Chains A and B, each alone.
Chain A
Amino acid sequence: MPDGPGGSLLALAIVFAPLSLLSFGGGNAVLADIATQAIVVRHWTSAREFADLFALSRAAPGPGSLLATLIGWKVAGLPGALAATIAFYLPSAVLVFGAARVWERWRGSPWHTAIERGIAPIAAGLLLSGGIVVLRASPAGWPVWMAALLTTAALLRWPRLHPVPLLLAGGALFGALAVL
């Protein structure tokens, strides 16, 4: 990999563009690989920074996650943010543009149904994996696991809970514990 700003932009594109095409069901599906690449493989962020950027990307409004944007910004400033965002959103957008009509024409064929049903459990497994990998990378240890699992249980019990108060409550609780 060449050094310098050009090299890091290229590296961002090489990491995020393939993940764009694997993000079945949304950007969260590839969270596990983003974490592994950013922390372990490329050393773009420390575990601490990754945990912070992850939380920030979700607290800010946007389609799915702009985690890629924040990581790109951390690596190479504004050009990095642009490169990572384009690499992460453009390939799947192009695919939708090209494939949507073909896909609709197939509707009702056994393959159509089988692909839909076959991708669903992988997408679900990827979501769960993303959460696990980020928890394992979190420097805060077991309290974060506990809080995450409690939130999961609460959401499964009361599916109508709104996410924003949950995020605020999590932040307030951990912040208050840190002050004490």
Chain B
Amino acid sequence: MVLRRGWVDDKSFLAMLALGQVIPGSIGVKMTVLIGQRLRGAAGACVALGGLLAAPFAIVLMVGAAYAGFGEHPILHAVLDGVAAAVIGLTFATGLRSAAQGAPGIAAWGIVAATVVAVGVLRWPLLPVVAALAPLSIGLALIEARGR
């Protein structure tokens, strides 16, 4: 989008990327909304988001329908288990890498561990866990920033 269409310049593209983790949502959706907004306001954002989601929506439903048509088949289940295992491996690698990049220091690793224990091991609901840990984690980051 930066190179081909000239819709946004490098600097605002990077600023959009930096919104990254703070505002929830997938990065593709966020970028799409921001670029649509910049070009055509609210209508642009809506059209861009619809355009982004329409084709994958249709494809995933076709895939789902094909799956339902297959019914119970042990080999299909096994293949999907293999795909799921690889996807989870990707998820773990992303999580570990972003923990290492974004969380230098013992306090931040403590927050990572607390999140994993609460949500991954104890299966507590996300909302209260995030509501409790986010202020704590942000507070720790503030204290750390003052100390430097």
A→B interface (CB under 8 Å): 18-33, 36, 48, 51-66, 69-70, 73-74, 78, 81, 85, 89, 92-93, 95-97, 99-100, 103-104, 110-111, 113-135, 138, 140, 143-152, 154-156, 159, 163, 166-167, 169-175, 177-179
Residues of B contacting A125 in the complex (Cβ-Cβ under 8 angstroms): 95, 99, 111-116, 119-120
Contact with A along B55-88 (1 / 0, CB 8 A): 0110111011001000000111111111111111
Residues of B contacting A74 in the complex (Cβ-Cβ under 8 angstroms): 64
Q: Which of B22, B29, B86, B90 has the largest number of chain A CB atoms within 10 A? A: B86
Contact between chains at A118 and B137 (CB < 8 Å): yes
Cβ of B92 < 8 Å from any Cβ of A? yes
B→A interface (CB under 8 Å): 15-16, 19-30, 32-34, 37, 42, 45, 49, 52-53, 56-57, 59-61, 63-64, 67, 74-99, 101-103, 108-109, 111-116, 118-121, 123, 125-127, 130, 133-134, 137-142, 144-145
Q: Which of A22, A100, A134 is the one whose CB lies under 8 Å from B88?
A: A134
CB distance from B144 to the nearest CB of A (A): 8
Residues of A contacting B78 in the complex (Cβ-Cβ under 8 angstroms): 140, 174-175, 177-178
Q: Which of B28, B61, B96 has the largest number of chain A CB atoms within 10 A? A: B61
Residues of A contacting B92 in the complex (Cβ-Cβ under 8 angstroms): 127-128, 131, 148-149, 151-152
Residues of B contacting A66 in the complex (Cβ-Cβ under 8 angstroms): 56-57, 60
Contact between chains at A70 and B60 (CB < 8 Å): yes
Contact between chains at A18 and B96 (CB < 8 Å): no
CA distance A17 to B75 in the complex (A): 35
What's the dominant secondary structure at chain B's contact region? helix
CA distance A169 to B140 in the complex (A): 42
Contact between chains at B134 and A119 (CB < 8 Å): yes
Residues of A contacting B114 in the complex (Cβ-Cβ under 8 angstroms): 125
* Known A-B contacts A174-B78, A175-B82; A115 and B22 likewise in contact (beta carbons under 8 Å): yes
Q: Which of A22, A69, A115, A135 is the one whose CB lies under 8 Å from B126?
A: A22
Q: Which of B24, B86, B95, B123 is the one whose CB lies under 8 Å from A23?
A: B24
Q: Which of A97, A156, A173 is the one whose CB lies under 8 Å from B97?
A: A156
CA distance A123 to B126 in the complex (A): 11
Residues of A contacting B64 in the complex (Cβ-Cβ under 8 angstroms): 53, 56, 70, 73-74
CA distance A120 to B32 in the complex (A): 22
CA distance A156 to B121 in the complex (A): 23
Of the A-B pairs whose beta carbons lie under 8 Å apart in the complex, a sample of 22, sorted by A's number, is A22-B126, A36-B123, A48-B77, A62-B59, A69-B61, A92-B30, A93-B25, A97-B37, A103-B19, A103-B23, A115-B138, A118-B139, A118-B141, A120-B102, A120-B103, A122-B137, A123-B21, A124-B98, A128-B112, A128-B116, A146-B85, A179-B75
